[in-house]
Structure 1
Amino acid sequence: MNRNWDEAISRMKNRIHATAQQVGDGFPHWADPNTGIWKTTAHGDWTGGYWLGMLWLASRDEGGEGYKHLAEAVCKRLASRVNADTAFKAATFYYGAGLGALLGASKSARELGLAAARDIEQRFNPKLGLVPLGENAEEGSHVGATASSIDSLVVSLLLFWAARESNDSQMRNIAAKHTARVLSIHQREDGAFVQSSSLDVQSGQVLQRYTHKGYSESSIWARAQAWGVLGATISCLSGGIDERFLTAAVKGADWWIDRVPADRVSYWDFDDPAAPNTERDTAASAFMASTLLKLSSIAPSESKRQKYKDAAKKTAAALVDGYLTPVEDHDKRPVGMLVEGCFNKREDSRPEDYVSNAELIFGSYYLFEALLILSGRLQPSDV
């Protein structure tokens, strides 16, 4: 598939500009798909780093100095969360601060990212063999302090980056242990990823594996599958090829490709019996478009590399053509919104996350990243 992705990139940059004008001191969380008005968080929650990530990416293009200046200012506001007791802050600081160092050569962002990484390193629990979610994690009060989840692979992203940045072999070792343990607990033999687990505080034994945010406790939530493949893939790119992680990424990617709908955009949960009459999750699909491009650069065979690259292109094209609001929009929606992201449709979700059709800042980030890779403006190993 030969395609010029510049027009879609332009749409998304238009949306970045509009978002910057709208959110002020807040961090965009999700936006109404009809009006484009953002629900914001004051301190970034776990999603705030993705807004910064979009700014760091946009700062590399021609005329990007304004985005870099804004990113520098916004990044400083993350300082209050460096010591927060949540594994999910790793996403905030990897995409919000780590990318500032990688893409913007920002010294202040680098220091914030390293500080957060050092705090997370201290939270590694040798009995559990991983960094638990923490009391202040998004669902920490629901599932307990010794719980884990496939989402917590964001810890690996931050720690591998920080270990490389500071030449810290101990941190790298902890990142590898965390990655291996989380993957071993949450990936089934067939390649699917189960979202959550409960662990015994003394022995580290797995007491239960279940899906916390999907259709049922045994179903495969689309974003869990995407998190698993993303975490395993970036761990290989950032920490060096580890056959355990690469195998997990390949099995997870193949599982997704074999089961995603023909139009390449996943349902919110692969096991929802209402499909095809159920919500899609464009955010999970954007995760996979970006991740498959990364995986295509390290997959173990040429046939696999081509398979993942082709699947990524088709997924990105489906998202752009079907879900990215156009310049000429008959419904008068803002340009460049990636709509139909299913944040959380379960009634026991946090109120701020209870929306099943929205523009999700993390979905927009991953589509933007994928488009920049497809256009040649970004290399898979850059982020």
Structure 2
Amino acid sequence: MNKKKGLLICLILSLGCGGIAWAQPRSDVFPPVTIDQPFVVNTFEASIRVVPVAIGLANPFDMAFRNNGDILVTERFTGNLRVIRNGSLLEESIRGVPQVYSETWRQGLMAVELHPEDDRIVYMTYTKAIVADGEPEQTVALIRARIVENELTQVEEIFQAEGLDRGIAASQLLFTPNNKLMMSIGGAYMYAGIGDYAQDPTIHYGKLLRLNDDGSVPSDNPFVSTGEYLPEVYSVGHRNQIGLAFHPTTDQLWATENGPQGGDEANIIQPGLNYGWPIVSYSRQYRGDRVSERPWGEEYEDPEVIWWPSIAPSGLAFYTGDKIPAWQGNMFVGSMMEGRIPGTGHLERVVFNSRGAEIRREGLLRQLNSRVTGVAQGPDGYLYILIDEENGALLRIEPAQ
């Protein structure tokens, strides 16, 4: 049996048999909790305590940890870059962030990433208002700046995406071990009439990009010599990627990707390859019809993990800490909602065997009834998550004892 047929059979079995192969049994009733007090959760392999680090964040999207202990957090709609210091959210935001366009739902300030060799240098992606053909439009931009005390200095826009943001173009950043900057740009939405963005060679939307740390194009990018796609492009055929992380043992780059209804994915990214959207997909459109006649094609890469129903995957991290040994090597993915039902976001734990095959998944922290966006392992070995609400929070997950 080839991988494509096997994947489809597993998907059918999971739908017809209540997901017995893909998910741990869970209760439909959870005791109420609030984000302003610690609480204990008994998970499948560990009892954990969830501790609020900071509350009062307005729709936080991403976080970055500085060497001095500060945690930087982006607020998507306010356009603020907040600082958590010594366990407290500072009242004053960092000054100097460029004007962010956030008048359309789910646009605004997004990723924050620090330079691996100098954490005073910060990179951020955001939705930017532009004028195209005399009309007001939006696109995604990348800035680089230097943090001096509580202000961004030497602010420089080092990249602006080709194409117009008419969907929900999420953007994430991740530095590679050799200091190249990976940048996702989503927004390839069928309902907005721009699903073909993901395959369009003249547009950055629906692609994963690879840049030098100054925003220029690396000479060894896969399409530099062929000109088949724009030179910044690293992989194509994506809908909306929010999570990026390197696997701790294989060093492979993984990315989460949102489908519309079902068909969310986690992919292993390889340079120059096509991941199929919207030509092949396991998803259905919001109106119910299938995105594609069949979910695979020989020339397209298959996902490593599929979610059905959709969990709206967001942040991504592989746990390598020593605080909860039973979780080492597990993949953690934020969920913004499940099955298109508000208030069903959670933290998804995916377990792999020694051959890298998925064997178990568990939905955690459903009792929060909230969207989870950022997911990261901190320098202290704890897992941190962002709660994306108007009165959101940064939470830390630690052993119960």
The structure with the largest helix share of the pair is: 1
Q: Which has the higher contact order (CA 8 A, sep 6+)?
A: 1
TM-score, normalised via structure 1 length: 0.34
The structure with the largest strand share of the pair is: 2
